[in-house]
């Protein structure tokens, strides 16, 4: 009986270690974020862009959904699952870089053109990389999303 208990404890410890080993350290943001009283597609656009982490359940459960993001090599910081932020971006072309850890570093670069109609960007980890989509619609169940809190490193 004691051997079984030790095996169960060892398995639990290994599971916790495995799940926490994929945690990505937060990076400080070089951007000022914009807080709006009301967030909807009418209050966005003309440079105000909402960026959210659309990670699915499988990435969120194993702690691989945290994304560190840079825009033109300037740190936007970390966005965790079900978090969003709003920033002001001038019209133009930008290079978004996203990084998440899933045993190895999964880094991807995305060319994005911001114009007066750009409102919502979804960035999410995938099994092999990261995906960025300009959706211009709020995610389903947006009421469950939270504005990204300020984090210290």
* pLDDT (mean) for 64-73: 94
Q: How many CB atoms lie within 10 A of CB 105?
A: 10
Phi-psi group of 97: left, alpha or beta (phi > 0 → left; psi -120 to 50 → alpha; rest → beta) = beta
Sign of CA dihedral 65, 96, 110, 25: negative
> Is residue 152 situated within a structural domain?
no
Quickly state the pLDDT bin for 11 (edges 50, 70, 90).
low
> Is residue 14 situated within a structural domain?
yes
pLDDT of residue 114: 97
> Is residue 103 situated within a structural domain?
yes
pLDDT in tens, 74-126: 999 999 999 999 999 999 999 999 999 888 888 999 999 999 999 999 999 99
pLDDT in tens, 126-153: 988 999 999 999 999 999 999 998 766 5
> Is residue 139 situated within a structural domain?
yes
Domain span including residue 42: 2-147
DSSP 122-151: EEEE-SSSEEEEE--SPPTTGGG-EEPPP-
Quickly state the pLDDT bin for 17 (edges 50, 70, 90).
very low
> Is residue 153 situated within a structural domain?
no
For residue 9 the two structure tokens come to 């404890």
Domains held by the chain: number: 1
> Is residue 143 situated within a structural domain?
yes
> Is residue 83 situated within a structural domain?
yes
């Amino acid at each position: 009986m004691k051997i079984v208990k030790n095996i169960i404890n060892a398995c639990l410890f290994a599971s916790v270690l495995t799940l926490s080993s994929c945690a990505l350290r937060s990076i400080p943001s070089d951007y000022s974020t914009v807080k709006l009283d009301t967030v909807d597609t009418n209050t966005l656009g003309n440079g105000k862009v909402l960026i959210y982490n659309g990670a699915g359940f499988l990435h969120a459960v194993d702690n691989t959904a945290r994304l560190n993001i840079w825009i033109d090599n300037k740190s936007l910081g970390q966005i965790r699952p079900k978090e969003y932020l709003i920033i002001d971006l001038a019209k133009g072309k930008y290079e978004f870089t996203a990084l998440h850890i899933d045993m190895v570093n999964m880094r991807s670069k995305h060319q994005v053109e911001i114009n007066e109609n750009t409102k919502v960007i979804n960035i999410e980890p995938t099994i092999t990389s990261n995906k960025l989509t300009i959706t211009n619609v709020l995610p389903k169940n947006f009421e469950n999303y939270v504005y990204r809190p300020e984090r210290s490193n």
